[in-house]
Chain A
Amino acid sequence: MAAIEMVNLTKHYKQGKNVIKALDGVNLKIESGEFVAVVGRSGSGKTTLLDLLGLLLRPTAGTVVIDGVDTSKLKDGDRATMRGESIGFIFQEFNLLPTLNALENVMLPLRYAKKDPQGPARARRLLDEVDLGDRVTHKPTELSGGQSQRVAIARSLVNNPALVLGDEPTGEVDSETSDQLLDLMRRMNREHGVTFVIVTHDMDIAQRADRIIRLKDGKVASDEPIAARELALS
């Protein structure tokens, strides 16, 4: 069984009398442990897809099945619980809370999940894994962009999620830092066995994924594993 399955996933918005088809009948399967890049032009439906996968939006039609759970049948509270327990988020603008230090930011999702006595120790270990073991008490204002995003990556993994969603996770940093962050995400993907789905404009970033899904006008325009693409190009 696939870790994530999108079945006829559709999201329409009303704008006055017009209906915007942000996502229009998308069918996709993502296997457990895959590292997937979603690309496409602005307005192609990338972010909507990510919001639907992250259970932040409800689809107009269709459903997302995560680990066998049909999320369209979940109530708001259950969706919040599932977000906390099964999904991690990495945002373009880091979204760290300014009043919390690095460790407290990493531990934020633990606050809303089922009590886990191992949680704080895991948060510290994750900060060590992202090479910020010596920055645990630093506030976001005392961290660089790359360091902030590494804190956000650690935060996304603290509840041992099945899926991590990245919305332009390297969009706010320079290319060298971007490479480092991608190395880190790939390492986490490999070592923790977590499925990563990242949305990006940057084809260099996308090339380092296992698979690239290209969206156009709310539909899947192409869906290719990198290995197959490289084979086709050679």
Chain B
Amino acid sequence: MFEIIRNLTRRKLRNGLTVSGIVIGVLALTTLGAIAEKANYSIDGGVRYFRDHVSVGAAQNGGFGGGLLTVDKAKDIQAVDGVQAACAATGVSAKTDLDFSVSFGPGDQVTAEQPGCQQYSTFKLTYAKGHPIDETGTGQVVLGSDIAKEFKVTTGDTIALPRPPKKFNPDYVGHDFTVVGVLDKTLTAPDAFAIVSFSDGQTLFGDALPAALRGRVDPTTLATGINVYAKPGVDLDKLAQKINDTVPGVSAIAPSTLVNAFKSASVFLTAITTGAALLALIVGGLSVVNTMLMAVTERVREIGLKKAVGAHTYHVLREFLTEATILGVIGGLVGLGLGWGLALAINAYFASQNQNELFLVTSRLVTFALAFSIGLGMIAGVVPAIRASRLDPVTALRYQ
């Protein structure tokens, strides 16, 4: 092993350049992979979050978010066979200014659901601090981990929702809420939620209506969506179809539609990571092949000598493969270290700007990046190592 290390340090510049090639590849793999991991975790969370219920919206709005529904529709849906609970819900943006922060979800939302509905969801929220809101009260809010960090508030603080605009806006109406709880990180939608009681949600929704509509509708009759929870054993996709067939004026979206949309996004992000891996494979792999072929050419006599003093074909093969693998390991470790460091630095910067983190370096990404670089070195070393091991000792010993 010491001899292999010495051989590598003998040609510092060349091996350094080769390692740099692998470093660039693994750096790209780590950073793009960390973005994909962050997104995939959000997507996985989204899948978990949305697959436990049927989302129902107003028919004319395509059924998902933003449309005007009346709370009465929940009662109609409740009557559909197979429905355990139909819970009216509201969702409005937590910000009045345009949001340019990096987000893989709908952005910061103030959400609310009719009292008693949380028990039906299989997506259980846990609390880092504090406790749930009084669902029948007013003026309390539970914040997701990201939104709490972004607005720099914690339990006991007061926060105005939606957030006041930076420039004066005569249409802005804000309400003060006391933060009674902060959620554990879920890596999905609730991280960006401010959860208030349903009555507060309706008030905020009424305030968010265009000025022309305000005052003409009673916000306490409105909802932006209805979350439908099914009885045990009921197929949610079929239930969505049944709701569409039997309740007029609503549009129920089958969970599988949303889940498939999330999975499509996941496939796209996986393709980006695969692209980075291929880039690493080409850049790093070719430089390892080139370096090792040069090493074989330079060390032909050495190979001849080793064979003369008893080395078998597999000894020579193993030595050159080990050397190529070490190049891969060094490149992988440095590339991973730099990529990880870069991800941490950018995440820290985003956090300092009150924005969501962009990267998520997971243990599976670290394992994959390391295994990839080791595999890359080994595979790229195969051809040179075979060439070395098959050298005829007589020819090799007299090679000039």
Contacts and interface: CB of A to CB of B under 8 A. Distances in A.
Contacts of B301: 95
Contact of A112 (B304, B310, B394): B310
A89 B394 contact: no
B313 A81 contact: no
A76 B314 CA distance: 12
A104 interface: yes
B174 interface: no
A89 B3 contact: no
A54 interface: yes
Contact of B306 (A56, A57, A112): A112
A81 B311 CA distance: 8
A84 B309 contact: yes
A108 B312 CA distance: 13
**Residue from A57, A88, A100, A111 having most chain B Cβ neighbours under 10 A:** A111
A68 to B, nearest CB: 20
B7 interface: yes
A176 to B, nearest CB: 27
Contacts of B3: 97, 99-100, 104
A117 interface: no
B393 interface: yes
Interface string B366-390: 0000000000000000000000000
Interface string B2-16: 010011001000000
Interface residues of B, number: 20
Interface in A47-64: 51, 54, 56-57
Contacts of B302: 95, 97
B48 to A, nearest CB: 56
Nearest to B8: A99
A234 to B, nearest CB: 41
Interface string A31-69: 000000000000000000001001011000000000000
Contacts of A112: 306, 309-312, 315
Contact of A80 (B6, B304, B312): B312
A128 to B, nearest CB: 21
A109 interface: yes
Contacts of A155: 309
A91 interface: yes
B308 interface: yes
A169 to B, nearest CB: 14
A81 B305 CA distance: 14
B53 interface: no
Interface in B1-37: 3, 6-7, 10
Given A56-B397, A97-B302, A100-B3, A83 B10 contact: no
Nearest to A78: B312
A83 B6 CA distance: 26
Interface of B: 3, 6-7, 10, 301-302, 304-313, 315, 393-394, 397
Q: Identify the 9 closest CB pairs spanning chains A and B, nearest first.
A: A84-B310, A112-B310, A99-B6, A109-B309, A95-B305, A112-B311, A80-B312, A56-B394, A56-B393
